[in-house]
Amino acid sequence: MYSFLTTGTWPDYELLDAGNFEKLERFGQYILARPEPQAIWDPHLPASEWQRAHATFTREKGSQERGQWKLKPSMPEQWVIKYDQGDLRLRFRLGLSSFKHVGLFPEQDPNWRFIFEQTKKRRASTPRVLNLFAYTGAATLAARAAGADVTHLDSVKQVNFWARDNMEASGIDGVRWLVEDAMKYVRREVKRGSKYQGLILDPPAYGRGPNGEKWQLEDELNEMLKLCQQLLDPQDHFFLINLYSLGFSALILDNLTTATFGVSAGQREIGEIYLHDQGQRKLPLGTFCRFAT
């Protein structure tokens, strides 16, 4: 089933506008303007609304990613926002990075809720969940809040520290933290015969492991999924993969997951994730596939 997922009502987050390769967002009480390559249309709001931004990101000349933030005097470099969706209540520390990121991808809200609900449904008394390329840990915390034994793996030590801050701010503990290369770790887990009731992946288009190991999405993803298939508990599991790579169609995930996991179209959900702004334009922000027993 091909579907579209978007963020639900969230008082501490809102996409206000998008256009001219930029997006205007509110995180808590602060408004941020930053680049967005998918927003090729005109903005909905007037320039005066964009000028209200407390922080605006400008790319360095010749760089697609790096740049700097221009801050108004009232704008802190770090702050905390709330995420309360039913029984799932988390807190996220945000910060302004030199790569335009703030430590959170709000469009993942429907996937966090999926992880939370699927973890609670597992037959295992304490389901094991592995979160690969785990970044600052929102998905990790959703699984842990539902009672899972969670392993959080990311190749960047500073990102794991950030995820720990989010865990502590959310009043959660007990996560296992690993600074590892994802492919090497998964290969070892397969050799050990490990099994997980939940697997979560959000791999980048390109990355490096802690010892310089190379990750290139189109070269590595097929093998990674085959290894993940061997790690899933065959009788009791959920699986989620999210991709944000321009030009990487959901049909690629359709082909890969059909061949690797053998799940039929009726057993899985696959499609695109987007955010809608105040003008009800839909900003595409990735593709996903998820399924569960």
Per residue in 109-121, pLDDT (tens digit) is 999 999 999 999 9
- Cβ neighbours for 94, distance < 8 A, ≥ 6 positions apart: 27, 28, 78, 79, 80, 81, 102, 103, 104
Percent of the chain whose predicted confidence (pLDDT) is above 90: 89
Structural domain including 209 reads 104-292
Assess if residue 58 is contained within a domain: no
> What is the pLDDT confidence band of residue 248, given thresholds at 50, 70 and 90?
confident
Within a domain: residue 195? yes
CATH no. for residue 128?
Answer: 3.40.50.150
Q: How far apart are the first and last CA of the chain?
A: 16
Q: What is the mean pLDDT of the chain?
A: 95
Neighbours of 102 (CB within 10 A): 24
Q: What is the pLDDT of residue 2?
A: 85
How many structural domains comprise the chain? Answer: 1
Confidence at residue 165, expressed as pLDDT on a 0 to 100 scale: 97
Within a domain: residue 132?
yes
pLDDT at residue 268 greater than cutoff 70 = yes
pTM of the predicted model as reported, rounded to 2 decimal places: 0.95
In a domain, 108, yes or no: yes
What's the confidence (pLDDT) of residue 15? Answer: 98
The reported pLDDT for the residue numbered 63 is 67
The verdict on residue 254 lying in a domain is yes
Residue 203 identity (one-letter amino acid): P
Burial environment of residue 9 by CB neighbours within 10 A (0 to 12, 13 to 18, 19 or more)? exposed
What pLDDT is stored for residue 199 in this prediction?
98
Q: Answer whether residue 17 is part of any domain.
A: no
In a domain, 217, yes or no: yes
Q: What is the pLDDT of residue 131?
A: 98
Asked whether residue 174 is domain-assigned, the answer is yes
Contacts of 54 (CB under 8 A, 6+ apart): 30, 31, 32, 71, 72, 74, 75
> Stretch 75-94: mean pLDDT, rounded?
97
pLDDT on residue 60: 81
Q: Using alpha carbons, list the distances in angstroms from residue 256 to 11, 18, 184, 261.
A: 37, 32, 21, 8
pLDDT of residue 64: 65
> Looking at beta carbons, which pairs linking 73-76 to residues 24 or more positions away fall under 8 Å?
75/30, 76/30
